[in-house]
Amino acid sequence: KRNFNIMARPVTLLGHLVAISIAVLILVWILHFREGVAFKSDNKLKILNLHVLLMVIGLILFGGQAIMAYKSIPAKKYWRKVVHLGLHAIALAAAIFGICMSFKFHHDIQLTNLVSLHSWFGLITVCLYGLQWVVGFFTYFFPGAESRRRASLMPWHVYFGIFVFLMATCTAELGLLQSLDTWFLLGHTQENLIINFTGLLIFLYAATVVLTVILPPLY
């Protein structure tokens, strides 16, 4: 009889490839089709672009890699865990800084904050992400809960981890959709194609990351 078992490690390879493709597309979009990034500039769109870059590369790409760490890193469990929480810390820091950039953009051009569905999703996502990180850290790393508590919280940790990661990808899709002058751009322009392909790849990334969680590890 044939055996249809698929192990997670090869799927994490696809996850890395998709992540690199998203990084390339988003960099081409922001550096070539838009005006690049800046923390301080008279061209306020550069500050908004910094927000986009931090959210996609920081929160989504690093966050997904953090989740896949238990299936992608060929090392002992302890080191996988250190990579898992470390990459999540980078993702969270980028997300908090990235949110600040969107508020700075709104402040500088005197736009009202928290109007769009994208902004509501984004704020909820980052709050839940921070909560997930803190609870995960104290339960599973330092000082660590007793083993029965660790075990009983694990399904919740995995469920909320997937949930908040998917919320982050939804927020990014809403952000792409809203990309300022979308209506002006509509048409078969190169920039429009890049935005759409980025959105498709983010969806494929989410599908891949969640699949690695469900598949058994390859030792």
Query: How many CB atoms lie under 10 A from the CB of residue 112?
Result: 8
Residues 145-184 as x/- pattern, contact with ligand ASC by CB under 6 A? --x--xx--x------------------------------
DSSP 213: H
Residues 1-40 as x/- pattern, contact with ligand HEM by CB under 6 A? ----------------------------------------
| Contacts (CB under 6 A) with ligand HEM, residues 78-117 | 81, 84-85, 88
| Contacts (CB under 6 A) with ligand HEM, residues 158-187 | 158, 161-162, 164-165
Interatomic CA distance for residues 194 and 200, integer angstroms: 10
Residue 47 · residue 191 · CB < 8 Å: no
Q: What is the CA radius of gyration of the chain?
A: 19
Burial of 102 (0-12, 13-18, 19+ CB in 10 A): buried
Is 3 a binding residue for ligand ASC by CB under 6 A? The answer is no
Max Cα distance, the chain (Å): 67
DSSP 3: -
What does 105 interact with, of ligand HEM, ligand ASC, none (CB < 5 to 8 A by kind)? none
Token output for 21? 């493709």
Token output for 150? 């660790």
| Contacts (CB under 6 A) with ligand ASC, residues 129-148 | 140, 147
Nearest in space to 118 (alpha carbons), one of 98, 93, 135, 132: 98
What does 136 interact with, of ligand HEM, ligand ASC, none (CB < 5 to 8 A by kind)? ligand HEM
Residues that bind ligand ASC (CB under 6 A): 77, 81, 140, 147, 150-151, 154
Residues that bind ligand HEM (CB under 6 A): 63, 67, 70-71, 81, 84-85, 88, 129, 132-133, 136-137, 140-141, 157-158, 161-162, 164-165, 212-213
